[in-house]
DNA sequence: TATGAATGAGCCTTCATTCAT
DNA sequence: AATGAATGAAGGCTCATTCAT
């Protein structure tokens, strides 16, 4: 364990939380969760760093030991959420093989992450949209990674002949992400408390149908099995 | 045409602004439009009153001759939009008689007002949601008037036997408004430039179908039972 | 009347009221009186030029046709009051001869001017004291003239042998003015509505007694008569 | 002496300021003193918070760690002064017994507090009078406490038979306070630097004489009749 | 002369960020 | 690592003053 090359993802994650996550007392997730709650309740601009600190039960200065700036709090929320979605997406992929099932797994986890914490959903779907700068910056990095995950699954499906090959997998990935993102926004804005995750299936069915390879007579969609 | 008595609506509109609207020189709509653009571009909190003033080509202090505060700019955008939507909705109603056509007319105009100015849509669907205070305050006044307009059409339809009478017209009006509002938010958040107005028909078809008066006895809607 | 050399005082006064005091509609005193009321009620700094204009029944811009600035309003109140006090003092002097009577006449008129208008008293005794700059500037001009009037009377009394010559008439004038000024301030600040003018006699008695020439045996105070 | 329980008054005073008054570093009195000097020199309205901060040697924002607003600075000056006057008055009362001596002690301390700091006197007697709001608000609280102190002494004197009982102690307290307040204002406005404290005796003599219990029957105060 | 809409400099106040302890 | 007092830049708003009509 000591000499193995470190997982790049873990390195990135560790770098985010300044140095030692020594014992149990890591205040990084504590403050981040406080920020989610405070931002969701009052909005990013109406919230003060001192509010977040108070909610987290730390001093105002302590926030700056874990985050570069107030903006960094927002960025970290975005980043952590996307990172988790990627991780959960990957984990979900491990259990299924058929391309359409893999897409469904990603979509379900995506909406699960969102619907797990309504405050997070508010921040992620609304507050994050304010700064075009943020959006553009993060779209290029984290979001790119997430889209890459989806694109990979689609490309696999195309390679396996399950999906039509005459559509760019990047474009198809964006369509799926866009649809899921809009589901999430609707759910978050809606006063009703319906099941968000259930919509994953509908979205995937719809898109998968659009992606389906034209049936070749007498040959059903092949199911690939991973070891 | 020159000496005709003035349109009462225009008189009301003029009274809203400063006294002598010296022909072209009324700065009220000028500043409001500038605010819509600036707020849409940078977000309400990232915008400065000075930015709005510069965009409108007036001095910073001038903004305060027409609006009580920066918040009032936001509130005025909301108010003007709802007022226009009501006026357009009423105008649309004048041309059709059948209840379902009347609903469709309102829905189309609603989405037309939104899609006419994308900046306005951004401000109206996103920035306005920030301040719970604003929302609550205006929900009670302007929004109430708009919902009243819809409710009236539905109640008419019920009275005429076109709509089922066993649903509160207030509730039905909220459902329609909620659906249109979500269409508008989706369109505004979406990167795609599809026709928003076209969705009005889909929404109205759906809801009108749900509102349709039950067919004559002997041919009841089949009730599916879930286990 | 046309060719006589103009009275310098009138010239100054006329210059103050920009050009023609054409007919009855001179707004200069109107605005000044409005300023006295407004400043007395809310204080100089809490009053706005627009308040004064409204009280005077004119537009805000009109104030600037008669006064250089807001400060000039305060200065003009000071100046007009002192000018009137001088004029009234001179008029009073015309009726009496004995030095002590002449001092008493000045003192009475001084306090009369003050007590005639309580708002004026408030402005004159309190608001005017705020700006040291103003005080110093005006002390050198208008107040100097008023003190000169008093000093003249005292010097006359000294020349006539009625007052001791071993005290500077300037110093004695300041003492008298200072005493009267403090009476005025007390009266203005006091919640009681006693007669301010009556205090003139007390003050003059006191100071005149201090100024009295040492009695030379067998020779009573001479009474001078002016033609 | 080192381990004695702390003086309750000091505890209260410390609580008034920010928590840990790290020995010499308490900026509350520092800023307050700076405000007294700046306000006295330029007047409340001509002074900027930044001026006060600079005079106190702190940053502008620091003022707001100790005071709610610029107005609060003025209010705090008032409050601290009255509080000190009450404390000094009480201390003075501890040394004397005879009612008239007790009144004289209070009066002397009152004028002592004022004359100790001329800047304070200027602010207290002039600037504070501007805002009627302030006056009314604090009259009801702090000033009420101070008047209560005086009233108590007078009531004691009445109970002891030293003062006539046919005058309301509240009214008598107001008369004494009013007289002292006017002495203070005169002294502050006056260019002369006479002893303000000495006037306490004169005022108290006068009022105490008016409060004196009527002599025993058979030797009544002569009543003069005016025609 | 009179108007009042327009201007823009100025100031109070907030709050993200720093740093001595 | 943690604190929270201190900082000072930034921005909303006011209002004295100007000027085109």
Read off the pLDDT of residues D114-124 as tens digits, 9 standing for 90 and up.
Answer: 898 989 988 88
Q: Which residue has the higher pLDDT, C174 or B214?
A: C174
What CA–CA distance (Å, rounded) separates A155 from A170? 9
Residue-wise pLDDT tens digits, A37-81: 999 999 899 999 999 999 999 999 999 999 999 999 998 998 898
Alpha-carbon distances of C92 from B200, C12, C83, C102, rounded to whole Å:
90, 22, 14, 8
What CA–CA distance (Å, rounded) separates D132 from C142? 31
Whether the CB-CB separation of B163 and B213 falls below 8 Å is answered with yes
Q: How far is CA D208 from the centre of its chain?
A: 20
Q: What is the CATH number of domain D70-214?
A: 1.10.357.10
Picking from D44, D126, D182, the nearest residue to C129 by CB comes out as D126
For residue D31, give the nearest of D13, D12, D17 by alpha carbon. D17
| Residue D46 to residue C191, Cβ atoms within 8 A | no
Chain B partners within 8 Å of A173 (Cβ): none
Residues 6+ away with beta carbon under 8 Å from A108: A92, A197, A200, A201
Q: Which three-class secondary structure state does DSSP give residue D212?
A: strand
Nucleotide nearest to A62 (CA to C1'): F2
pLDDT tens string, chain A, 227 residues long: the values are 334 444 444 444 444 444 444 444 689 999 999 999 999 999 899 999 999 999 999 999 999 999 999 999 998 998 898 888 889 889 989 999 999 999 999 999 999 988 888 899 888 877 877 665 666 666 677 788 899 999 999 999 999 999 999 999 999 998 999 899 888 887 887 767 789 999 999 999 989 989 987 766 554 544 454 44
On the question of pLDDT at B10 being above 80, the answer is no
Alpha-carbon distances of B198 from B139, B174, B184, B187, rounded to whole Å:
26, 20, 11, 11
What CA–CA distance (Å, rounded) separates A58 from A65? 11
What CA–CA distance (Å, rounded) separates C101 from C105? 6
Q: Is C223 on the interface with D (CB under 8 A)?
A: no
Picking from B45, B126, B189, the nearest residue to A45 by CB comes out as B45
Q: What is the CATH number of domain A8-211?
A: 1.10.357.10
- Bridge partners of D163? D212
What is the CATH class of D8-67? mainly alpha
| Residue C130 to residue D43, Cβ atoms within 8 A | yes
Listed by start position, the domains of chain B span: 9-67, 71-211
Nearest chain B residue to A45 by CA: give it: B45
What CA–CA distance (Å, rounded) separates D88 from B225? 87
Question: What number of H helices and E strands is found in chain D?
Answer: 11, 0
What CA–CA distance (Å, rounded) separates A169 from A153? 9
Q: Is C139 on the interface with D (CB under 8 A)?
A: no
| Residue D182 to residue C191, Cβ atoms within 8 A | no
B71-211 fold: Tetracycline Repressor; domain 2 (1.10.357)
| Residue D189 to residue C190, Cβ atoms within 8 A | no
Phi-psi region of A218 (alpha: psi -120 to 50; beta: other; left: phi over 0): left
The residue whose CA lies nearest the C1' of nucleotide F15 is: C48
Put simply, the chain C residues between 21 and 50 with a CB less than 8 A from any chain D CB are 43-46
B16/F14 CA-to-C1' distance in Å: 23
- Per 3-state DSSP, chain A is made up of helix, strand and coil in percentages (nearest 5) of 70, 0, 30
Chain B partners within 8 Å of A178 (Cβ): 190-192
C61/F19 CA-to-C1' distance in Å: 10
Based on the number of CB atoms within 10 Å of its own CB, is C78 exposed (0-12), middle (13-18) or buried (19 or more)?
Answer: buried
What CA–CA distance (Å, rounded) separates C112 from C105? 10
Alpha-carbon distances of B60 from B67, B71, C48, rounded to whole Å:
11, 15, 20
Residue-wise pLDDT tens digits, B121-167: 888 877 877 665 666 666 677 788 889 999 999 999 999 999 999 99
Alpha-carbon distances of A184 from A79, A94, A109, A198, B9, rounded to whole Å:
17, 24, 12, 12, 41
Q: Which three-class secondary structure state does DSSP give residue A212?
A: strand
Picking from A46, A129, A182, the nearest residue to B126 by CB comes out as A129
Q: Which three-class secondary structure state does DSSP give residue A85?
A: helix
Whether the CB-CB separation of A203 and A180 falls below 8 Å is answered with yes
What CA–CA distance (Å, rounded) separates D173 from B76? 56
B9-67 fold: Arc Repressor Mutant, subunit A (1.10.10)
């Amino acid at each position: 364990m000591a000499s193995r090359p470190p997982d790049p993802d873990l390195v990135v994650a560790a770098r985010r939380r300044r140095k030692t996550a020594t014992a149990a007392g890591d205040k990084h997730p504590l403050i981040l969760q406080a920020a989610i709650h405070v931002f969701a309740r009052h909005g990013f601009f109406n919230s003060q760093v001192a509010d977040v600190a108070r909610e987290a039960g730390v001093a105002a200065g302590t926030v700056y030991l874990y985050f570069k700036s107030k903006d960094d709090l927002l960025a970290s929320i975005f980043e952590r959420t996307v990172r988790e979605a990627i991780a959960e997406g990957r984990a979900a992929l491990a259990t299924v093989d058929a391309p359409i099932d893999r897409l469904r797994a990603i979509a379900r986890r995506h909406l699960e992450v969102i619907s797990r914490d309504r405050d997070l959903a508010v921040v992620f779907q609304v507050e994050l949209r304010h700064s075009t700068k943020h959006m553009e910056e993060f779209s290029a990095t984290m979001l790119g990674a997430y889209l890459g995950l989806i694109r990979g699954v689609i490309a696999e499906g195309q390679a396996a002949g399950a999906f039509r090959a005459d559509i760019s997998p990047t474009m198809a990935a964006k369509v799926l992400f866009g649809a899921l993102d809009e589901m999430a926004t609707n759910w978050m804005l809606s006063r009703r408390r319906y099941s968000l995750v259930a919509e994953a299936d509908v979205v995937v069915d719809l898109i998968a149908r659009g992606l389906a390879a034209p049936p070749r007579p007498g040959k059903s969609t092949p199911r690939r099995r991973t070891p």
